[in-house]
Chains A and B, each alone.
Chain A
Amino acid sequence: MSTAQRPSADDPRILLDQEAGVFEPVPPYPPRTEREAEFYTLGDGQMFLNMGPQHPSTHGVLRVVLKIDGENVVDLDPVLGYLHRGVEKLAENADYHQVISQVDPLEYVSSLFNEWGAVLSFEKLLDVEVPRRAEYIRVLSAELNRIASHALFMGWMALDLGGLTPILWSFIERDEIVEMLASLTGQRMLFNYFRIGGVNGDLNHDFMSRLGNWMSRATEQIEASQGLLNENEIFVRRMRGLGPIDTKTALRMCFTGPNLRATGVPFDIRRAHPYSVYPELDFDIPTRVEGDCLARYLLRVDEVKQSLRIIDQCLHQMPDGPVMAKLPRLLRPRPGRAYSAVESPRGQYATYVVSDGTDQPFRMRIHDPSYIHLQSVGLLMQGNLIADTMAIMASLDPIMGGVDK
């Protein structure tokens, strides 16, 4: 057979002819660590169950190996890396402006926060002062993005429990916001809107009229769609007391964001370590003490209401002025280090940048809250039923784009 006739290794017809493979949960190599050896040793009456990487409730491509005893989960081992793109390495090979578009797809349901983390640390490196109008536009658009993200969370969570209606309802709100942001930024999901020293483009008439229309009925509509779940006996009974975590463990597991606040700690980067114009805005930090799935869900409901308050204040206090600081095209910050954190819908999204004086970051570390929360799934899961795996995982709200970087 000549080379031209031989099918290439990438030819999908080869896969069609192959027999279906059986997925072995146990890795085909000797254990690398004590923990791996312990996990992959079966006790009496136990078995492994492979879930993923294409399981609908894993919110992306996550593979989880469950060790089960009957229907109870004894332990689990998440296997990551299916979405790994090496964003940190790519950032070292791009200049400071290009990095903004590369961090966009990390937490793809709340992209503005990824951009914000990056530009905030670059601005610290460069000692740039951002115009006040730009800061207000950042807060306004980011809080809209937070509502869109939480709306998606509520729908997803119900979907993972088998309820189809809430996700259709929450997509009404989310689509409205996403279209609104598209008229502001030009994109529906991966906005690429924040710039070092400001934002790309001022508020326009289309965005303002959409926002005005939506704000006049937002509170009412969000409450209506929340009634669907909050007053649903099946949902509330299923979620109450499921996957609880106490304050001390949550702190030791490095929890942040709504998942930490659901255990009673009022830790919010917007107040604990203020950035942008948040000190000038009036809003509360909702907390709950139960630390279970229901608390994590209800806390996000409360956060949406606070975000609406912030948006309202932004619209009333919006100053006039430029939206970009005057900066050269080619940025060469002095050698140094900068750390910045923003409160994303999932928790602390942090960026650590090291500059060596060239126009590219020497090292850029991205700390993603989804990654941190996902490692505690095994802790929350022990002793629960397999069916609760999805509920607990959904209540932590991980986004695999951010987990795998």
Chain B
Amino acid sequence: MDRRFKARLEAQFGDRLSGPVRQRHDQTEIRIRPGDVVPVMTELHDNPIFRFEFLADLAGVDTGEVMQAVYHLWSDTTPDWLRVIADGLSRDDPRVPSVTFLWPGAEWMEREAYDMFGMIFEGNRDLRRIYMPPEYTSFPLRKDFTLPDDAARSPGGGFRHMEQTHIPANTPNTVRRLPGSRQLPSVK
């Protein structure tokens, strides 16, 4: 834990932080609003007292209520990993600015987060599905997309077909319904 690093972060981003700076083991965590991603990341990348030139990871997280874009950065100015959480993206329309202007290598990480969570990274030139087929409509890592195994954990949940559990509002009703499904219409 690098206490002085925490003080530097608080001094630099005091009003931009949307939560306290947390430290545990070898990680320092700050929370920002999605609108502040561009200025905060640019400052962290360019300012010589931070010099975070290395984007270690970019992850999407669905907490069930909100979405988060989580960035992990490394620099030789601190022994800690820096975790930047862009918090509070709405689940209906999760939007966050892209960081590809700093790290073009983030392009595929953002594509993956889009594919798995439906998060829109504004400014990414190539935001299309990467793992799932192009005609696929669901977002598999969202919390309302449940696996059949979950039936054992939620009493009364019953067996649900995976892709049926999460269907965006504008999807045509072409998803095949499996026998045993709760929502199964009566078939002759």
**Chain A 331-348 interface mask (CB, 8 Å, partner B; 1/0):** 000001111010000001
Q: How large is the interface on B (under 10, 10 to 19, 20 to 34, 35 or more residues)?
A: 35 or more
What are 17 A-B pairs with beta-carbon distances under 8 A?
A: A33-B126, A33-B128, A36-B126, A89-B145, A93-B147, A93-B149, A124-B25, A251-B53, A254-B103, A272-B74, A339-B83, A363-B62, A365-B59, A367-B57, A371-B112, A372-B109, A375-B108
Q: Are A84 and B54 in contact (CB under 8 A)?
A: no
Question: Is B57 within 8 A of A350, CB to CB?
Answer: yes
Residues of chain B contacted by A363 (CB below 8 angstroms)? 59, 61-62, 141
Known: A89-B145, A367-B56. 7 other contacts (CB 8 A): A81-B133, A93-B149, A254-B54, A254-B109, A341-B56, A350-B56, A365-B59
Q: Any chain B CB within 8 A of the CB of A384? A: no
Contact of A80 with B by CB under 8 A: yes
Inter-subunit contact A352/B59 (CB<8 Å): yes
The interface centre, meaning the residue of A35, A253, A254, A405 with most chain B CB atoms within 10 A of its CB, is A254
| Cβ of B42 to closest chain A Cβ, rounded Å | 14
User: Considering the chains assembled together, what is the distance between the CA atoms of A404 and B59 in angstroms?
Assistant: 16
* Shortest distance from the beta carbon of A60 to any chain B beta carbon, whole Å: 14
Interfacial chain A residues near B26, Cβ < 8 Å: 124, 273
Q: What per-residue 1/0 map shows which CB atoms of B144-159 lie under 8 Å from chain A?
A: 0101011000000000
A27 lies within 8 A of chain B by Cβ? yes
Could you tell me the distance between the alpha carbons of A254 and B55 in the complex, rounded to whole angstroms? 6
A45 adjacent to chain B (CB < 8 Å): no
A252 interfacial by beta-carbon distance below 8 Å: yes
Tell me the bound Cα distance from A350 to B109 in angstroms. 13
Neighbouring B residues of A253 by C-beta, 8 Å = 103-105
**How many residues of A are counted as interface, with CB atoms below 8 angstroms from the partner's CB atoms?**
43
Cβ of B32 under 8 Å from chain A: no
Contact for B105 among A36, A84, A372, CB less than 8 A: A372
CB distance from B122 to the nearest CB of A (A): 13
In angstroms, how far is the closest chain A Cβ from the Cβ of B28? 11
Contact A252 B105 (CB under 8 A): yes
Interface residues of A (CB under 8 A from B): 27, 29, 32-36, 80-81, 84, 86, 88-89, 92-93, 124, 251-255, 267, 272-273, 336-339, 341, 348, 350, 352, 354, 363, 365, 367, 371-372, 374-376, 404-405
Contact A371 B126 (CB under 8 A): no
Alpha-carbon distance between A363 and B106 when the two chains are bound, in angstroms: 20
Q: Does B65 contact A (CB under 8 A)?
A: no
- Picked from B74, B106, B125, the residue with its CB within 8 Å of the CB of A33 is B125
CA distance A273 to B141 in the complex (A): 30
B131 touches A354 (CB 8 A): no
- For B102, what are the chain A residues with a Cβ–Cβ distance below 8 Å? 252
- Rounded to whole Å, the gap between the CB of B181 and the closest CB of chain A is 19
Q: Is B147 touching A84 in the complex (CB atoms < 8 A)? A: no
A347 to chain B, nearest CB (A): 10
Q: Is residue B16 contacting chain A, with contact meaning CB distance below 8 A? A: no
Q: Which residues of B contact A405 (CB under 8 A)?
A: 131
A371 with B108: CB separation less than 8 A: yes
Residues on A with C-beta less than 8 A from B53 are 251
Q: What's the Cα separation between A225 and B83 when bound, in Å?
A: 44
**Cα–Cα distance between A338 and B72 once the two chains are bound (Å):** 11
